[in-house]
Structure 1
């Protein structure tokens, strides 16, 4: 399921999925912001929208497991997870 929340400003893609955010970050997409929600266990990860980002989200959600477009470096993924968690818990956005 693509978790793009409709807003008047479609310049940004927002997702509450940490996994999608980590995948996009690993793929080199810029994280614009982390919007904290009223629920302390949820946040919106905000990325500038682009056709390439839309394709990457589609690949994440619908590609077969062995799809080359879905594969990322494990080291880069773990680094992305660490950086996203640091940003999320230290209010760096």
Structure 2
């Protein structure tokens, strides 16, 4: 996972981490190419809640309220991210 905290922007190469953060209110700014042609970097507006959300995403108990999301919204976010990936290529 690639990170940068310059000007309230955060970069990440993990697709599902980004989907989770978007489901929790983060805004996608764009998609950038990576040095690996098979990967991309997602650019998000950063937030003070990011660290806490990432902690929950990676280490919360199964069925913890902090990681539960509406599945229909998750499907929509995943489809949208995939569309942006294909537009960027």
Q: TM-score, normalised by structure 1?
A: 0.83
Q: Is the 8 A contact 2:19 2:77 kept in 1?
A: yes
For residues 52 and 76 of structure 2, the distance between their equivalents in structure 1, rounded to whole angstroms, comes to 23
**Any residues of structure 2 matched to 1:36-55 within 5 Å, and which?**
36-55=33-52
Q: TM-score, normalised by structure 2?
A: 0.86
Displacement of 1:4 in angstroms is 4.9
Displacement of 1:11 in angstroms is 2.0
1:83–1:45 Cα change, 3 Å? same
For residues 35 and 56 of structure 1, the distance between their equivalents in structure 2, rounded to whole angstroms, comes to 23
1:5 aligns with 2:6: no
Q: Superposition RMSD on alpha carbons, in Å?
A: 1.9
Q: What stretches of structure 2 of length at least 5 have no aligned partner?
A: none
1:84 aligns with 2:73: no
Give the helix-richer structure, 1 or 2.
Answer: 2
Corresponding pairs, count: 89
